[in-house]
Amino acid sequence: MKYTINQLEQISNLVRYWILYSTTQAGSGHPSSSLSAVELGVGLFFGDNFRYDIDNSRDINNDRFILSKGHASPLLYSLWLLAGVITPEEIQGLRQFDNVLEGHPSRRFIFADAATGSLGQGLGIGIGYAINAKKFDQIDSYTYVMLGDSELAEGSVWEAAANASYYNLNNLIAIVDVNRLGQRGETMEGHNLEIHQNRFEAFGWNVLLIDGHNLDQILDALSQAKNSDKPTVILAKTIKGKGISLIEDKDNWHGKALTSEQFEVYIEELGNLDLDFRAEIEAPMKLTPFQYTPPQLEGLIYPNYNLDDLVSPRKAFGEAIKLLTSNYNDIIVLDAEVSNSTYASHIDSARFLEMFIAEQNMISVATGLSLAGKKPFVSSFAGFLTRAYDQIRMAQYNDPNMVIVGTHPGVSIGADGPSQMALNDIAFFRGMFGSIVLYPSDAISTLKLTEQAYLYEGMSYLRLTRADLPVIYPNNESFVIGGSKTIYSSDLDEITLVGAGITLYECLKAYDILEERGVRVRVIDLYSIKPLDTATLHLAARETNGMIVVEDHNQAGGIAEAIRSELEDTGIAIKSLSVQEIPRSGTPEELLQFEQINVDSILEQVETLRQAI
């Protein structure tokens, strides 16, 4: 149904009522930030632009609306209440523990197209949706992202802006609520829309400047945006707290709700309201998404390697991802301009996205692709993934189904020096809800664990060594999430050596030397860091007298700490050999020696532990 401007103005007043009602009932929230964007939301939802099947929120043909300024969630919920999918009783329970209408949008509310609230990320997620619709599914849908002017100070916004114009996403429309006031006062640019205009134009966007409370201008801008050959940003000059004189354009009202008494007084400024009124949103055309046909369908036939062949795990990953994208049509590979080193680009170019050196945006785009039903593989040097810590943290709240691949971890990368060394990444990914952390040692384990990561529904992290390492497993060896490999074991084992990745080979060297000395040790390849193979670890705790964990990672949050938390009630002595000193440039061998995570250090600790026992 097409509404007149007068009707849209009445709907806007209703939206304002429900914003104030819900936040007053909650006693908290961000009504002023929501009120400034009311006409923008109403013009989009009910101004004959937005297409959405309210009976199927996951319909791939739906337009998408991402509230990047997630603190304005009362606006989002009030719009959906007017659309008839939320009841007054539900919005009355805003921010309550058992209510899906949380303080910032979460995926518990099925009409939230992304969990948001950490500013600066919505535009990147929107790119994921938009690029999926345009390049991969090839459907006629639009992605709308509403941002606040404060978050334009975030660098991730401009990473996304550059990326959107590079991929010419004319189905992506950003709406910036320029209300001038941030949390503690005026924003960086205030109401100077021309500064924002110059910046977006420099990034290759179509820019429209409007009065954000003028519905005629809003509808005209949305129409223009949908007919642009570029991504479009609508810069809307608005008034924070618009419509309520008590808080309109006033400092110190950010994040404050009206009291019940104030609500009763100031709600009268909205005039007579029909609180039973509900508006309509038109459903989209039902188009069949494009089905990608992989270039070859020969089954998962892995390349054969010979034992002792020297193959880098990162190179084996390249073989694995090429094979997987040749057999599954939902994989999209993203890389941060290092694909010739991560081997991520060795696939059909139709399934590859170059994200350049913009790791924050890369993770946000992958989140959007995941929400749109794809299985993104995201690769970069492990040390650089921590640039996107907050994007990964937020991804865990978006039902992520993605694989993050970190190559070149640890001091063993050698002469490039400490700026390139990931020494905290295991801790980082272990801490994510629902994540798994896999750390293969050789080519065979990398091939098999890459497939396991693809099959896992959730967030997976693959940690891949840079160096060429000997193949130690036969081609038919199987690997499972939550497993490990006990490479050497006997009834006479005194000590258990636990390694993963490159340190496993130091453990194997120590085994050979100790065997010649008549000392029996057990060697475990703990390739699944999360979840752990608890049965194998507990067996080792019962059958040996001590355990030495060797890892090319900082001790805090690493493998030894994971094992200690699992075996804390067993009483077994656990010695950690990990990165303890700030590293420097050098050969891998020198650095392993310097950090005391090499064969010599293992032998020394075995002797120390045997004497103590």
User: Rounded distance, CA 23 to CA 257, Å?
Assistant: 6
CATH number, span 310-470: 3.40.50.970
Question: DSSP class of residue 132?
Answer: I
- Put residue 373 in one of left, alpha, beta given phi > 0 → left and psi -120 to 50 → alpha: left
Reported as a single tens digit per residue, the pLDDT across 269-290 is 999 999 999 999 999 999 999 9
Q: Which residues contact 503 (CB under 8 A, 6 or more apart)?
A: 550, 551, 552, 577, 597
Residue-wise DSSP of 468-535: -EE--S-TT----TT--EEEE--TT--EEEEE-THHHHHHHHHHHHHHHTT--EEEEE--EEES--HH
Between CA 50 and CA 371, with CA 228 as vertex, the angle to 5 degrees is 50
Question: Same CATH topology for 5-270 and 310-470?
Answer: yes
User: Rounded distance, CA 466 to CA 267, Å?
Assistant: 63
User: Rounded distance, CA 382 to CA 371, Å?
Assistant: 24
Between CA 499 and CA 506, with CA 504 as vertex, the angle to 5 degrees is 115
User: Rounded distance, CA 98 to CA 117, Å?
Assistant: 19
Along the chain (613 residues), what's the average pLDDT of each consecutive run of 10 residues?
A: 94 98 98 98 97 96 98 98 98 98 98 98 98 97 98 98 98 98 94 98 98 98 98 98 97 96 97 97 94 73 92 96 92 97 90 97 98 98 97 98 98 95 98 98 98 98 97 97 98 98 98 98 98 98 98 98 97 97 97 98 97 86
Q: SS3 of 405, please?
A: strand
Q: Which residues contact 2 (CB under 8 A, 6 or more apart)?
A: 48
Q: Token digits for 205?
A: 């966007």
In the chain, what are the domain boundaries?
A: 5-270, 310-470, 485-612
Q: Where would I find the H helices in 93-137?
A: 122-131
User: Rounded distance, CA 180 to CA 149, Å?
Assistant: 7
At the second CATH level, the architecture of 485-612 is 3-Layer(aba) Sandwich (3.40)
The number of beta carbons lying within 10 Å of the beta carbon of residue 351 is 22
Which positions are catalytic?
359
Question: DSSP class of residue 422?
Answer: B
Closest CA to 11 of 213, 274, 247: 274
User: Rounded distance, CA 16 to CA 110, Å?
Assistant: 22
Mean pLDDT of the chain: 97
Q: Name the CA dihedral angle for 551, 553, 557, 559, rounded to a multiple of 10 degrees.
A: -20
User: Rounded distance, CA 269 to CA 102, Å?
Assistant: 27
CATH number, span 5-270: 3.40.50.970
Question: DSSP class of residue 30?
Answer: -
Q: What pLDDT is attached to residue 348?
A: 85
Are 51 and 284 a contacting pair, CB within 8 Å?
Answer: yes
Compute CA 47 distance to the chain's CA centroid, rounded to the nearest angstrom.
Answer: 32
Q: What pLDDT is attached to residue 347?
A: 87
Q: What pLDDT is attached to residue 1?
A: 72
